[in-house]
Structure 1
Amino acid sequence: MSDAMLSKVRKLLAQAEDPACTPAESAAFTAKATELIARYGVDRALLAARDPASDPVGDRVVEVVAPYARDKAGLLAAVADPLRCRCVRRREGTGFAMHLFGFASDLERVELLFTSLLVQAAHGLAGAAPPAGAHVAAFRRSWLAGFAHVVGVRLRAAEAGAVAEAGAPSVALVLADRSDRVRHRVAEVYPQLRTAAPRRLAGGGFGRGAEAGRRADLGGRDAATARAARPGLGR
């Protein structure tokens, strides 16, 4: 992502996090940051349509470790899919290796947002005490599921808004072609890939996690800085 774009996003998020802001003002700043991230994805896709070498299809592996590795993997999938990336979950030890496929600019967006959202999820869980008598781990797993669900919905809406703003009918065709090329790459690497069965969660934290997902900053942060400060999700 360009330095100019990152600078704009950082300023918007700093304003959104200012305690002097009203909730409405904070939400507006966060929405603008998310809009910039989505617009960047469309701009890069159109540029690559003219110059394919500027944004090649690629892949990378993201290690997702315990505790709550499967739930973190679910969050990564919730971020990747709206941004036109695909991920394959592979069990490794007590965690997972998430094999991401996508165009370089989209992989960059996914990693940036996922790193930021992991930090936000950790902070949100730290302040979300389970109800008396609730199973703590089950509550946290369902909380993370709610958080991931709403984040995915919000990202999908932002991407759709950026496409609509671009206006030209060709944009949708370019993006559809990119998605097809990513799916083709996944099929080449994993020709016998199977879809995992839906997960059932018993905890009662989904609603509170969803509410935290609605408040989450989706503009991204500097990945290196966020990784250095990344907290764990607790046990």
Structure 2
Amino acid sequence: MATTKTNKAENARNAKARMMEKVRGLLAKAEDSAATQEESQTFYAKAYELMEKYALDAAIVRHKNEEKPEATKHLRFEVSGQGWHGKGRASLVYRVAEASGCQAVTVGNVMNGKNRWVHIVGTASTVTMLELLLPSLLLQAETMGHKAAKEYMKTVRDQFDTAANANIERRVFFRSYLAAFGRGVGEKIEGTRAQAAEKVGEVGALVLVTDAERVKARFDKLFPPATIGKGRADSFGAAGAMAGRRDGRTADTGQTRVNGGKKAVTAKN
């Protein structure tokens, strides 16, 4: 019996290692400057699909074997405030985390050049997945966002009487792009999760519901509702929001404005 359990554990580790190797390869392709916008998003979607399927399959096996469910995990994800674009970056991280089935809250998310944090609570496999995915997504969003901002400014620069005003427009576009990129990616992730739940049937759906309840319980313990407020809603520029969301899901939604409030910790840290 002990040998059987050891073999099963070893097989599981090997399967996970093979899956992670494939995921890293896909993310490397997504980050490649030679990849087109559509190719990058396809690689990201496939990487997420592989990780999501592995995590859900493992959870179903534990459920059928009447084993303990997967542990929850708390990630303190630091977000750069460089260029005073920290709020846009934090919005991207927050949106992708919640779309992945996690609970999230921002700390120190004000308009300045300082770093801030997004606290993410989810199942261990999902949080591990985000630790791998988020840096890659941020890199891609920044690269594509700078390119999109440059192209956008070519079309509107003559509308501004000073270089300072033109620079403000560029910064608003870029910050809006980052936040909306997260919305676009989040929508793709939600679609992938919904499809995965349909494929695995009632057992898989039950596992997802149970995981969501456990994640919420852990999150509420770490961040009691009384300490969390919605915070001031961020107003984003229409052009940057449209471009970012389009590039996040490779489809123009036609949205003209985004006003997205994020939960912010109001109690002292």
SS in 2 for 1:102: strand
Residues 27 and 118 of structure 1: CA distance in aligned 2, closer, same or farther (over 3 Å):
closer
Q: When the two structures are superposed, what TM-score results if normalisation uses the length of structure 2?
A: 0.69
Residues 122 and 41 of structure 1: CA distance in aligned 2, closer, same or farther (over 3 Å):
same
Count of residues in Structure 1 that have an aligned counterpart in Structure 2: 214
Match of 1:154 among 188, 191, 196: 188
Question: How far apart are residue 145 of structure 1 and its match?
Answer: 2.0
Residues 136 and 189 of structure 1: CA distance in aligned 2, closer, same or farther (over 3 Å):
same
Cross-structure match for 1:116: 136
SS in 2 for 1:97: strand
SS in 1 for 2:239: coil
Tell me the percent identity.
32
The structure whose Rg is larger is 2
Q: Deviation string for 1:10-54 (max 9, x for gaps)?
A: 44556778899998877766543332122123123324434326x
Q: Which runs of 5+ in 1 are unaligned?
A: 216-235
Question: How far apart are residue 9 of structure 1 and its match?
Answer: 2.7
Residues 23 and 182 of structure 1: CA distance in aligned 2, closer, same or farther (over 3 Å):
closer
Instruction: Compare relative contact order (CA 8 Å, sep 6+) and give the higher one, 1 or 2.
Output: 1
- Structure 1 stretch 137-146 or stretch 40-49: which is displaced more? 40-49
Q: Return the alpha-carbon distance in structure 2 between the equivalents of residues 113 and 31 of structure 1.
A: 11
Residues 14 and 109 of structure 1: CA distance in aligned 2, closer, same or farther (over 3 Å):
closer
Residues 28 and 142 of structure 1: CA distance in aligned 2, closer, same or farther (over 3 Å):
closer
Q: Return the alpha-carbon distance in structure 2 between the equivalents of residues 161 and 109 of structure 1.
A: 18
SS in 1 for 2:229: coil
Q: CA RMSD in A?
A: 3.0
Cross-structure match for 1:83: 100
Match of 2:67 among 40, 45, 51: 51
Question: How far apart are residue 121 of structure 1 and its match?
Answer: 1.0
Residues 10 and 98 of structure 1: CA distance in aligned 2, closer, same or farther (over 3 Å):
closer
Q: Return the alpha-carbon distance in structure 1 between the equivalents of residues 197 and 134 of structure 2.
A: 22
**Residue 65 of structure 1 pairs with residue 48 of structure 2:** no
Confirm or deny: 8 A CA contact 2:45 2:189 kept in the other structure.
Answer: no
Q: Which runs of 5+ in 2 are unaligned?
A: 1-12, 161-165, 251-269
Q: Which has the higher helix share?
A: 2
Q: When the two structures are superposed, what TM-score results if normalisation uses the length of structure 1?
A: 0.78
Q: Return the alpha-carbon distance in structure 2 between the equivalents of residues 177 and 26 of structure 1.
A: 33
Q: Return the alpha-carbon distance in structure 2 between the equivalents of residues 63 and 13 of structure 1.
A: 20
Confirm or deny: 8 A CA contact 1:79 1:113 kept in the other structure.
Answer: no
